[in-house]
């Protein structure tokens, strides 16, 4: 017997269908309003994955790693020194797996770099993948999430990453909560303005972030970094494995890799050495270098970078970045001409800005530009 239309309506799970429709509507709204429900690091991971997958010139020098490289190099200056494209794919909070995934995406899109620059900041190298549980769904596709969780032997991590890729509300739940709390307080969330500023700054600086110069008298949070830990420093096994995968992948394409040991403010460097972290981190890089003939280490740890060159305790400002990049450009030019390639651990020159012939737009200038255009739009 064929049920009547009234019986079909009575049997239909109207409540369930309505709930699913409401969920779909909420997820769609969050996905369309990333500037409201994201943060600087997450947008950085997402945009770098997009650029690596098909928005790069087909050659040149490319940067991977974390914020020490993202803030500490100037692709524009390197382009002018080397006469070839340069782009920064280093990301804030990046770890060895993120560098590997970004390099693999770039190679699959047809990009074959002439040189790769990377760093493995010791705190991030020590931390496991849980450190970036919020970020992996922004960068890694579902297959990469499975690969990473399989390597870490962590089924829960895969479940979390898969949920993050499928549901924006799960991935961005912290930011959604912050927006709701701001609304209750009658405040306007300011993250959209910061995201717009960072997007402009990265666009003007080939993916790097040029941080503003300090006006002097800035205090740095030295107490946060390089403190002794119950166990001696060592890389997390997943980071160690993906650092090796990164170097092996570059070697398969015959690409030299230049790992930067970036400067930090002198007080933090002293703590690194006192705690033993500095030596153990350098020893790890030495073991990688012994295994991979394409790895060069460029060492700025004792190159007289003082507080005026820094944005904070671990990150250079635009002056520091120009100095680093000037020395890097001179070094790479020599390597491309066959000079110095037999020395694979190099003590890099002291801080200097004389002879730097390019200006960059720093974060203050980007912010001023975005504010002026916003006022005109209003």
Q: What is the DSSP string of 237-288?
A: HHHHHHHHHHHHHHHHTT--EEEEE----HHHHHHHHHHTHHHHHHHHHHHH
pLDDT of residue 194: 81
- Tokens found for residue 142: 């579902």
pLDDT digits (tens, 9 = 90+) for 80-118: 999 999 999 999 999 999 999 999 999 999 999 999 999
pLDDT of residue 189: 64
pLDDT digits (tens, 9 = 90+) for 161-218: 999 888 887 777 777 676 667 667 776 666 777 888 989 999 999 999 999 876 555 6
User: Contact 351/320 with Cβ under 8 angstroms?
Assistant: yes
Comparing 327 with 21, which gets the higher pLDDT?
Answer: 327
Comparing 358 with 269, which gets the higher pLDDT?
Answer: 269
pLDDT digits (tens, 9 = 90+) for 351-366: 998 878 787 898 988 9
User: 365 CB contacts (<8 Å, ≥6 apart)?
Assistant: 212
Q: Is the pLDDT of residue 12 over 70?
A: no
Give the whole-angstrom CA distance, residue 37 versus residue 57.
31
Mean pLDDT score across all residues of the chain:
88
Give the whole-angstrom CA distance, residue 212 versus residue 271.
26
Give the whole-angstrom CA distance, residue 317 versus residue 71.
7
Mean pLDDT throughout 308-334? 95
Give the whole-angstrom CA distance, residue 239 versus residue 65.
12
62 DSSP β-pair partners: 87, 116
Q: Is the pLDDT of residue 46 over 80?
A: yes
pLDDT of residue 369: 86
Q: Among 51-65, 207-221, 248-262, where is mean pLDDT lowest?
A: 207-221
pLDDT of residue 306: 93
pLDDT of residue 252: 98
pLDDT of residue 169: 76
Give the whole-angstrom CA distance, residue 109 versus residue 112.
9
């Amino acid at each position: 017997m064929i049920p009547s239309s009234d019986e079909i309506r009575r049997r239909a799970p109207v409540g369930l269908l309505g709930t699913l429709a409401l969920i779909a509507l909420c997820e769609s709204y969050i996905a369309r309003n990333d500037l409201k429900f994201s943060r600087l690091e997450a947008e950085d991971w997402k945009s770098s994955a997009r650029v690596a997958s098909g928005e790069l010139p087909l050659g040149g020098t490319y940067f991977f790693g974390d914020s020490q490289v993202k803030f500490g190099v100037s692709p524009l200056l390197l382009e002018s020194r080397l006469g070839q494209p340069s782009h920064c794919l280093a990301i804030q909070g990046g770890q060895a797996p993120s560098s590997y995934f970004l390099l693999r995406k770039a190679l699959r899109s047809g990009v074959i770099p002439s040189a790769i620059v990377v760093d493995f900041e010791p705190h991030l190298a020590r931390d496991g993948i849980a450190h970036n549980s919020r970020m992996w769904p922004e960068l890694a596709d579902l297959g990469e999430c499975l690969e990473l969780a399989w390597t870490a032997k962590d089924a829960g991590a895969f479940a979390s990453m898969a949920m993050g890729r499928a549901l924006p509300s799960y991935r961005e739940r912290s930011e959604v909560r912050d927006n709701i709390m701001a609304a209750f307080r009658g405040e306007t969330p300011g993250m959209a303005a910061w995201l717009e500023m960072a997007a402009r700054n990265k666009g003007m600086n080939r993916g790097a972030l040029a941080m503003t110069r300090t006006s002097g008298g800035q205090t740095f949070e030295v107490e946060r970094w390089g403190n002794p830990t119950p166990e001696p420093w060592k890389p997390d096994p997943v980071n160690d494995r993906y650092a090796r995968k990164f170097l092996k992948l570059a070697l398969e394409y015959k690409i030299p890799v230049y790992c930067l040991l970036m400067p930090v403010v002198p007080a933090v460097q002293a703590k690194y050495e006192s705690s033993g972290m500095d030596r153990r981190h350098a020893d790890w890089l030495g073991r990688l270098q012994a295994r991979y003939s394409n790895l060069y280490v460029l060492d700025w740890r004792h190159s007289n970078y003082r507080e005026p060159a820094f944005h904070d305790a671990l990150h250079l400002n635009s002056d520091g970045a120009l100095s680093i990049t000037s020395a890097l450009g001179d070094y790479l030019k020599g390597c491309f001409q066959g000079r110095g390639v037999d020395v694979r651990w190099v003590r890099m020159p002291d801080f200097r800005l004389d002879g730097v012939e390019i200006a960059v737009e720093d974060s203050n200038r980007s912010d001023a530009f975005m504010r002026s255009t916003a006022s005109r739009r209003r």
